[in-house]
Amino acid sequence: MSDKREKLMESEELYRTLVQTLSDPVVVIDVDGRIRRANKRIADLYGTENYNGVLGRQGLRFVAVGDRRKVVEKLREVFEKKATAVVEFGFVGPDRQLRDHVRDVEMSVSPIRDNTGEITSFIGVMRDISERRRLEEEIRIRQEAIESSIGAIIMADLQGKLKQANWSFLNLFGYNEEKEVLGKGFESFWTRKIPSNKIIETVHSEGMWRGELVGINQNNGEFFVDASISIILDVKDEPIGIVGFFNDITERKQTQEKMREASKMAALGEFVTGAAHEINNPIAIISGNAQYLLTKFDLKTMKETGSREFKKMKESLEMINKHSLRCGEITRKLLAFARGGEETAIKPVKLNSILNDVLSMVEHQLELSEITVRKQFGRLPLVEVDPSQMNQVFMNLILNAQQAMRKGGKLTIKTEAIDHNQVQVEVIDTGQGIPEQNLGRVFEPFFTTRQPGEGTGLGLAVTYSIIKAHGGDIKLKSKPGDGTKVMIELPVSTEP
């Protein structure tokens, strides 16, 4: 054996040992892409003892199909640049039974050159990065979970400076991009009334804080959130940051508020109903007796009928009667007002015929006040309402119009289907109108500009509560001197 040959053998031996002892999987591939050598570690990649199976086979066979082109290009690059390069790919084991056994590997490929400097093969040292990949994927999913959460989530450093904010948080506060909030202090997101530094202190001392906060968005709008803020600990239980979770509860708060309001109204309604009944009975007796005496007086044909004394007595009785009936009028409207928020006897009706009914009831009065009536009735679908309450609504509006046109005028009643689930009724007069400063008050209970004894100021309050109870809306437009227009919108069906 020549020296040279011996040397070669020696280096060959060294080379083999080296390859075998490396703790990472190693392959040697010739320029045709065939695997010439491999160490035992290769077997670890696909989970069998037998690694000889790979020898002599095409290296690409062990590369996941989708990664093959990438690997080939990398090898070409190594070949051309004669320098080490790194490529990642999915390693597929040779065993058909273990076909799905794909590992993520990172391979650093170096060229091997002969004496002449020509590249004869490549050596690839691989590292199984499946675990790292899995962790990366896990982190990515966690990030994604935070990002997709409906609840607003932020991460901050120990001082409360924002380091991360999810989409919900940005959306809640009216930001478009995360970078707009990064670095901002925790306190800058809440109204000044909230002692934010106290909250951070509590988080530090107790590990968490829970409560309601009032947030301020980019447009200075306020909203309510339910907040849970807690400390983030590292593996050694050292605090490393703060995480906050916020739920928008504005809507919930508003409904609660409305429900409180509604139950207050219901309680008030019950009270008013009871009181009105208690009052109506004695008033009925008072006025009934006055009327009895008045009739008696009228039937008397004695000569004192003409006397002053007699007239005054009669007048007193008339006053008793008139004002008892006035009390009755008030309690009646109070009852109607209270009933606005109550269960109603709803059924499908023709709104136009209700209007006709009401108009025929006041026809005579309108004529006497020299008011001409113009009806512009559109084709309406049946509307689900409480007919007696609607009667009252239109009666109130028409009487108001009449009272505003003391010297005569024109009353226009317009009905129209706005769309398939909404109708509109307009009551328009050419009366004195409502001065600007009163416009905001006309719906208030007991607001009236009429002479004492003439109006209770409950007409529009009742009307409003009835329309609202029907899920509708009422608006008023007026110009002093020109007249007033009342617009009512009603849903065709009370079913939402």
| Span 420-479, contacts to Mg ion by CB under 5 A | 459
442 belongs to the binding site for ligand ATP (CB under 6 A): yes
State the greatest distance between any 2 C-alpha atoms of the chain, in Å, as a whole number: 169
Query: Smallest distance, Å, CB 285 to another protein?
Result: 5
Q: How many Å apart are CA 91 and CA 89, to the nearest integer?
A: 6
Report, in Å, the least distance between residue 413 CB and Mg ion: 16
Of Mg ion, ligand ATP, another protein, none, which one does residue 280 interact with (CB within 5 to 8 Å by kind)? another protein
What's the rounded Cα separation, in Å, for the pair 193 and 244? Answer: 19
The nearer residue to another protein, 297 or 377, going by C-beta atoms, is 297
Host H or E run for residue 248: strand 239-248
Contacts of ligand ATP in 328-387 (CB under 6 A): 333
Burial class from Cβ neighbours inside 10 Å (0-12, 13-18, 19+) for residue 422 reads middle
Is there binding between residue 25 and Mg ion (CB under 5 A)? no
Query: Closest separation between CB of residue 396 and Mg ion, Å?
Result: 5
CA distances to 182, 188, 211 from 196, rounded to whole Å, are: 17, 9, 12
DSSP labels for 201-217?
Answer: HHHHHHSEEEEEEEEE-
Question: Could you write out the DSSP letters of every residue in 362-430?
Answer: HHHHHHHTTEEEEEEEPP---EEE-HHHHHHHHHHHHHHHHHH-TT-EEEEEEEEEEETTEEEEEEEE-
Residue 400 near Mg ion by CB under 5 A? yes
244 scored as a contact of ligand ATP (CB under 6 A) = no
Residue 409 or 459 with smaller CB distance to Mg ion: 459
Do the beta carbons of residue 27 and residue 123 sit within 8 Å? Answer: yes
- Binding piece for ligand ATP, criterion CB under 6 A, among 179-187, 192-200, 228-236, 459-467: 459-467
Residue 335 touches which of another protein, Mg ion, ligand ATP, none (Cβ within 5-8 Å per kind) = another protein
Contact 95, 133 (CB under 8 A): no
Question: What is the footprint of Mg ion within residues 332-391 (CB under 5 A)?
Answer: none
Q: Please select the residue that binds ligand ATP; options are 93, 160, 431, 472, rule is CB under 6 A.
A: 431
- From the list another protein, Mg ion, ligand ATP, none, pick the one residue 404 interacts with, judged by a Cβ distance below 5 to 8 Å according to partner type: ligand ATP
Tell me the two tokens of residue 422: 């909404």
Start-end of H helices in 209-350: 250-299, 308-339
Q: How many residues bind ligand ATP (CB under 6 A)?
A: 23
Q: Half-sphere exposure of residue 155, counting CA atoms within 13 Å on the CB side? A: 12
Contact partner, 449, from another protein, ligand ATP, Mg ion, none, Cβ < 5-8 Å per class:
ligand ATP
Q: Among 149, 280, 448, 494, indicate the residue that binds ligand ATP (CB under 6 A).
A: 448
Residue 327 interaction partner, one of ligand ATP, another protein, Mg ion, none, beta carbon < 5-8 Å per kind: another protein
401-430 residues near ligand ATP, rule: CB under 6 A:
401, 404, 429
Among 449, 473, 487, 493, binds ligand ATP (CB under 6 A): 449
Alpha carbon distances (Å) from 91 to 26, 101, 102, 195 = 13, 8, 5, 57
Residue 67 binds ligand ATP (CB under 6 A): no
Taking CB within 5 to 8 Å according to partner kind, which of Mg ion, ligand ATP, another protein, none is near residue 429?
ligand ATP
In angstroms, give the least distance from the CB of 435 to ligand ATP. Answer: 9
- Does 457 engage in binding with ligand ATP (CB under 6 A)? yes
Please give the Cα distance from 333 to 461 (Å, whole number). 9
CB of 339 to another protein, least distance (A): 6
Q: Which does 248 bind (CB under 5 to 8 A by kind): another protein, ligand ATP, Mg ion, none?
A: none
The pairing of beta strand 409-419 with beta strand 371-377: parallel
- Of the pair 189, 337, the CB lying nearest ligand ATP is at 337
Query: How far is Cα 167 from Cα 144, in angstroms, rounded to an integer?
Result: 10
Question: Which residues here bind another protein, judged by CB under 8 A?
Answer: 273, 276-278, 280-281, 283-289, 291-292, 295-296, 299, 324-325, 327-328, 332, 335-336, 339, 342-345, 386, 388
Applying CB under 6 A, which of residues 213, 434, 474, 492 lies at the interface with ligand ATP? 434
Cβ closest to another protein, residue 281 vs residue 353:
281
Of the pair 467, 492, the CB lying nearest ligand ATP is at 467
Closest CA relative to residue 320, chosen from 281, 296, 289, 278: 289
Which distant-in-sequence residues (6+ apart) come within 8 Å of 282 by Cβ? none
* Interacting residue with ligand ATP among 276, 460, 474, 488 (CB under 6 A): 460
The candidate with the shortest Cα–Cα distance to 185, out of 242, 140, 141, 224, is: 242
- Binding to ligand ATP, residues 125-154 (CB under 6 A): none
63 lies in the binding site for ligand ATP (CB under 6 A): no
- Residue 328's binding partner among Mg ion, another protein, ligand ATP, none (Cβ under 5 to 8 angstroms by kind) is another protein
End-to-end C-alpha distance for the chain, whole angstroms: 101
Output the six-digit token pair for 1.
Answer: 């054996």
Instruction: Please say whether the beta carbons of 78 and 85 come within 8 A.
Output: yes
Whether the CA torsion 321, 405, 351, 472 is positive or negative: it is negative
Residues that bind Mg ion (CB under 5 A): 400, 459
Binding site for ligand ATP (CB under 6 A): 333, 396, 400-401, 404, 429, 431-434, 442, 447-450, 455-461, 484
